[in-house]
Amino acid sequence: MSVSGLNRIEKRAAFSLASVFGVRMLGLFMILPVFAIYGEQLAGYSPLWLGLAIGAYGLTQALFQIPMGMLSDKYGRKPVILAGLVVFLIGSVIAALSTTIYGVVIGRAIQGMGAIASAILALAADLSREEQRPKVMATIGMFIGLSFTLAMILGPIVADAFGLSGLFWFTGFLTILAMLMIQFMVPYSVSKAPRGDNVALPEQISTLIKNPQLSRLNCGVFILHMSLTACFVTLPKQFVASGLALENHWQLYLPTLLGSFFLMVPFMIIAMKKEQEKPMFSGAIALLSVALFLLWLLPTGLWSLVFSVVLFFTAFNYLEATMPSILSRLAPAGVKGSAMGIYSSSQFLGAFAGGIIGGLVASRYGEQSIFLVMALLSLIWLAVSFGMQKLKKSKNFSFITNIKTAEKVEEISEILISMPGIIEATLVQNETKMGDKESSNAVAYLKVDEKLVDLLAVKALLQQDLS
């Protein structure tokens, strides 16, 4: 098999898993651009319950994300993913049948309990070679971004045609489609990828939470998604008040999101090619703060809203796209799965907090004050970001080795760390699972500089008979 590109199984796995992930996130996001308006028609409506309905999935996602990944390690990826999709479908049906705001909150919370993100990423790792794994993960990330854009466009169209209940029935249909894709499109696999690099391990979590560099990212993604959810407690109403009917909101979201994407790309290129990632990262947080202050300060005319929203999504898309990459480089070798589990939980907790805080602020101080509160929190994030260490160009790889003794683990670790391009090398025994059998072979977790490392030489060293 060529190491230069994805093989047939990897392509199939990347597309099918990315599609499942994207379809599910589409169902979660479609409520954002419409619920602030349609939610007012439900019995029991209040700004606080509106915020709860928008953000409820975030709390249960955060609580179930890591346990579902661990269950997939024990019982298999596909069964856990399918079970999560069934739970998500049940939540969608409950929300579709609800005539009260309370029923929608319960439905959204149950949707979040189907937390399959970590299991999907682990399955993607199982189905790809070490050197091709970043491409598969990038494909999934791209589909997540696309799902958000489609949700902003399709949400108003579906809600206008079929109402709020129709929106949740459509989400249920998408979930059934995702289940069929998992069953018939995703290749079968046993759990073969090293666990620590893909699935969160409980014993690592407390240490990683205290890591000052990772905690900056976790706090950042919390504030980022809190701002997004809180803003959508009021933004759709403001667009309607400025003269844009709800059924036409897609006409605003489509050029706004596309425009923000094209504005974001040059900054990403500059950051990568000029090695200015840290300044550009802080600059994007500053832009987010400016956009939120403008939403608070400027009159609620259509063009001022459009201008501010374009700035907001330019910053949001840049941060959303670059933060997972930063996380993978800051995380110590061999614990990326645990680091990503904490990061994802922080992200979903932020979505939940945004709904709560947005609803509370709107009920007590008026909806316009939501933007001020989020802008101030973004400034705190900006101040925290200045302490982030300079990023080194690196990638993480994991290799199953033929090393079977502790003595050889120490010996090979010393050889690895002395090789050109190896930034970190961690060897761990008794982590490999093939079906129902456990292997005593060690797993090598490496953080490398791709320009300097000779991966073929590394693999040759690790795969020779070292028993």
Q: What is the pLDDT of residues 328-344, one digit of tens each?
A: 777 776 677 778 888 88
d(CA 96, CA 79): 26
User: Token digits for 144?
Assistant: 């997540």
Listed residue (82, 102, 106, 78) closest to 92, CA to CA: 106
Q: Tell me the C-alpha distance between 415 and 100, whole Å.
A: 64
User: At residue 332, what is the residue type?
Assistant: P
Identity of residue 47:
P
**279 CB-side CA count, 13 A:** 7
CB 279 within 8 A of CB 267: no
Helix (H, G, I), strand (E, B) or coil at 135: helix
Is the pLDDT at 275 greater than 60? The verdict is yes
Tell me whether strands 395-400 and 432-434 are parallel, antiparallel or unpaired: unpaired
Q: What is the pLDDT of residue 415?
A: 85
User: Quick one: 206 exposed, middle or buried, by C-beta within 10 A (0-12, 13-18, 19+)?
Assistant: exposed
Residue count of the chain, please give it. Answer: 467
- pLDDT category of residue 396 using cuts at 50, 70 and 90: confident
Neighbouring CB atoms inside 10 A of 264's CB total: 21
Judge whether residue 196 has pLDDT over 70: no
SS3 8: helix
Q: What is the pLDDT of residue 288?
A: 96
Mean pLDDT of 282-289: 94
Between 421 and 99, residue with greater pLDDT? 99
Sheet holding 395-400, edge to edge: 395-400, 443-448, 422-428
Q: Residue 190: which residues within 8 A CB-CB, separation 6 or more?
A: 126, 433, 434, 435
User: Does this model's pTM top 0.75?
Assistant: yes
Calculated CA dihedral for residues 237, 356, 154, 312, nearest 10 degrees: 70
Tell me the one-letter amino acid at 67. Answer: P
User: Which domains occur in the chain, in start order?
Assistant: 1-199 (1.20.1250.20), 201-391 (1.20.1250.20), 395-463 (3.30.70)
The pLDDT assigned to 432 comes to 47
Render pLDDT for 145-192 as a digit per residue (tens, 0 to 9): 788 889 989 999 999 999 999 999 999 999 999 999 998 888 876 655
465 pLDDT band (50/70/90 cuts)? low
pLDDT over threshold 70, residue 436: no
Total H helices, total E strands in the chain? 17, 5
Q: Which residue has the higher pLDDT, 74 or 237?
A: 237
Quick one: pLDDT at residue 191? 55
pLDDT over threshold 70, residue 226: yes
Over residues 234-251, the pLDDT tens digits come to 999 999 988 888 888 888
SS3 448: strand
By the 8 A CB rule, do 311 and 293 touch? Answer: no
What residues pair up with 43 in beta bridges, in sequence order? 100
Asked whether the predicted pLDDT for residue 72 surpasses 90, the reply is: no
How large is the average pLDDT for residues 125-150? 78
| DSSP class per residue in 263-284 | HHHHHHHHHHHTT-HHHHHHHH
